[in-house]
Amino acid sequence: MKFRYLIIILLFVVGYNSGAHAITTATSEEMKEIKGKVIDKETNHPLPGATVFISDLKLSTQSNYQGEFILKNLPSKGKFLVEVKYIGFKATSQLIDLNQVESLVFEMETAIIESAEVVITGTPFSGKSKHSSLAVVTTSREKLMQTGANNLIEALGKLPGVNQVSTGAAIAKPSIRGLGFNRVLTMVDGVREEAQQWGEEHGVQVDQFSAARVEILKGPASLLYGSDALGGVINIIDDFIPALGTHSGSFNTSYGSNNGLSSSSLMYQGNQNGLVYRARASYKNAHAFKSPGAYVPNSGFKETNVSGLVGLNKSWGYSHFTFSRANSNIGLIEEGPEEDGSFHGHDGHSMKERSLENPYQYITHYRAALNSNILLGHGQLKSTFGFQRNLRSEFENHGHEDHDHETENEHGGHHGEENLGIRMQLNSFTYDVKYAIGNLNGWEPTFGIQGMYQTNQNTGLEYLIPDYSSFNIGFFGYLKRNFENGSWNVGARYDFKNLNSKVLMDGNEVRFEAFDNKFSNFSGSAGFTYDLSKNIVFRANAGSGFRAPNIAELGSNGTHHGTFRYEIGDPNLKPEISYQVDLGLDYSSEFISLGVNAFNNRINNFIHAVRFNNEVIEEDHVDHAHEIPVFRFVQANANLIGGEANLDFHIIKDLHLENSFSIVKGTNRASKDPLPFIPATNLQHEIVYEPHLKNLVNTYIKFSYNHVFKQNRFASFETETPSYGLIDAAIGTAIPINKGKINVWLSAQNLGNVKYINHLSRFKPIGIFNPGRNFNLGINIPL
């Protein structure tokens, strides 16, 4: 135990001393600045308001009315990728050597098809997505807001290859190519999300308004991110720091008609001589959502988020301290509707009340992180140290309820201690330190160390998992080589994890036995990209991944109310080992963009829950006994195969069609049975008209149709899910003002009010349909 603490303390000391050394060195050096200009390549006219940024330094600025810009507080040496974006033009970038460059000129070409953004997720250095050997998709805040989704993961679920495991309107967990839960890593402020994500009804604790851009890496990313990135990575990126000597802010607000969702967020940030700061506060409140024909009782939620950033952007790099507090109060549903579709004891009026009844969740999540990029020698020392505390309480219907003698608590629900079910406190310390040497004659080597120390404590009246401590550490090396027509990369990694569970007594009975498990693994990957022609890029990647069993899979022994089942773990489970091959082909021209990706993922020791012989356990439920199905965690060798395709083309300049297709098939290799939680095949079409209107910019009108095929391959405890089709629509525009532009939009989801159930909905077993028609009106105002 002392050795583990020593490693963590040592890493903090190393990070601090490295930063201190870099700061001392940099103070004696003159700060460098680069001037530049952004022009239209065809007309040579200046482009005012273009965004210029260096992702690796978290620096950004905008061009003035003459198209000119200045990047200040730059280091005196080093190679960095500078990117420029401007609406209606292809994003462009230049790799610059600060030893040699004094001025820049970016000639931008008009774009009919949107070009790919710079991505950070796939490699230690920023780079074009075409140079990533893994499949990467990106989306922006503007596009996320237009979806009218209840939360961030629901909005991301509209991207090909990405789905959501949902529990009503409030809770959504990401699933990438059929893998979710602890197999998908969510990165927030550079820190891996740790919020008891093994639970099906444990959502991501992040402010959706903080997502300026989201990058999704599809496929095993264990090499750079560790154990839980077996299925992919979701990297949530906040706003860039404004230019030196400037400040900015924004106010967002929207309203959804289906569940009365009111969402608002206020943000302000600035950069005063390299001292940078940001503050954001957000609030969401919704009553019960309405499926076609009936409101679903106690499905409302409240969410409050407060976050901040303070740090330095100097010639030696940057160091940012971020902190946040997320609070969620979410109603839970344990029983489905009556035969006529109504819910016993509830009417439409009561459903619109915003107070919650038992059962419900009350979650508070604290996150603090120190992110730094210190320029040392010929490379960059990047470090992230994080601390998270997740406080999860679930209040249940125990025995009986008498609301006449209860008072509403500060959480918005009714409870006394007799209604307390699960209460857990999870503390997580994470570290990620890597040294990356940038572009030495085309070579980009990186070496790093990552790890985490966790403790979990039960303080409730019910138990699902035991108290435990966990320690893991990983070492990796990664090498990328760029050449004229592409790139290749190779890497290797070693991981070790120790999970120590403590004995827990329930009265005179042993509820959880103690165990001490150790896991280790070597993994690696290799990939390349090659430009077959000016417009065609081929990519391939082969790699192995590793995931140690989580505490729920090893030690569960209790009722998991959000999943409607009693779960029993197995402390003898082995780690999952993945071997995946990815192939991709991209074509782009002036009027057409085409992408095809295919993958084959073989996972040994795949962990999943099964139900044997219709086993049940009886549990008191309000005024009657309730039978809960029993599920046990087991292992089997599995195979997932599938892919995604997209085709975008413009009929005329202002009218274009976007189409996407995704499919995944999961199979138990021993029994040949389908795997659970595999999304149905999906086909999406969207037509977008972007007229040019006087005094307005970014105007659009769009309609989309999403066809979800019948899921007739399902696990033994699942049922077939019928096919369905959903029509969405949106209209929006932006009004230019001195401080930027005011964005307004109106979107509609499920216009046909279709009665359907998504195969990954956790309400499917009790017959609750997904939300019906919804209209969302929103506005974004720059400050």
Q: What is the pLDDT of residues 186-201, one digit of tens each?
A: 999 889 999 998 887 8
Rounded to 5 degrees, φ, ψ at 160 are -65, 135
Would you state the pLDDT for residue 284? Answer: 97
- Exposed, middle or buried by CB within 10 Å (0-12, 13-18, 19+), for 495? buried
307 — phi, psi (to 5°)?
-145, 160
- Burial (CB < 10 A; 0-12, 13-18, 19+), residue 690, is middle
pLDDT for position 350: 67
Can you give the pLDDT at residue 120?
Answer: 61
Pick from 585, 587, 551, 588: which is nearest to 570 by CA? 551
CA–CA separation, 404 and 35 (whole Å): 70
The two tokens of residue 763 are 């309400």
**Neighbour count for residue 73 (Cβ, 10 Å):** 22
CB 675 within 8 A of CB 638: yes
| DSSP-based three-state secondary structure for 717 | coil
What is the sign of the dihedral through the CA atoms of 272, 118, 120 and 158? positive
CA nearest neighbour of 605 among 525, 531, 685, 545: 545
DSSP H/E element including 27: helix 2-27
**410 contacts: CB under 8 Å, gap ≥ 6:** none
Contact partners, residue 295, CB within 8 Å, separation at least 6: 288, 289, 343, 346, 348, 351, 352
In 3D, which of 362, 365, 359 has the Cα closest to residue 326? 365
Q: How far apart are CA 178 and CA 606, in angstroms?
A: 13
Q: Enumerate residue ranges in the chain where pLDDT < 70.
A: 1-31, 112-125, 127-128, 344-350, 397-418, 561-563, 620-625
Residues in the chain: 783
DSSP H/E element including 68: strand 68-74
d(CA 492, CA 224): 9
Q: And the tokens for 120?
A: 């950070």
Residue 199: predicted pLDDT: 81
Q: Please report the pLDDT score of residue 399 as a whole number.
A: 44
pLDDT at position 614, please? Answer: 85
If you compute the radius of gyration of the chain from its CA atoms, what whole number of angstroms results? 26
φ, ψ at 203 (rounded to 5°):
-80, 175
* Residues 463-493: tens digit of each pLDDT: 889 999 999 999 999 999 988 888 899 999 9
The phi and psi torsions of 227 (rounded to 5 degrees) equal: -55, -50
Helices and strands counted in the chain (H then E): 6, 46
Identify which of 418, 407, 515, 412 has the alpha carbon closest to the alpha carbon of residue 462: 418
Kind and range of the H or E run holding 38: strand 32-40
Q: Which residues pair with 620 in a beta bridge?
A: 625
Return the number of other C-beta atoms located less than 10 Å from residue 574's C-beta. Answer: 13
Asked if residue 202 lies in contact with residue 392, where contact means CB atoms within 8 angstroms, the answer is: yes
Q: How many CB atoms lie within 10 A of CB 320?
A: 23
Cis peptide before 359 (omega within 30 of 0): yes
Residue with tokens 């084959």: 600
According to DSSP, residue 227 is labeled G
Question: Which class for 362: exposed (0-12), middle (13-18), buried (19 or more C-beta within 10 A)?
Answer: buried
Q: In this structure, are residues 254 and 478 in contact, taking their beta carbons and an 8 Å threshold? A: no
pLDDT at 115: 55
Cis link prior to 691 (omega < 30° from 0)?
A: no
Distance CA 13, CA 103 (A): 38
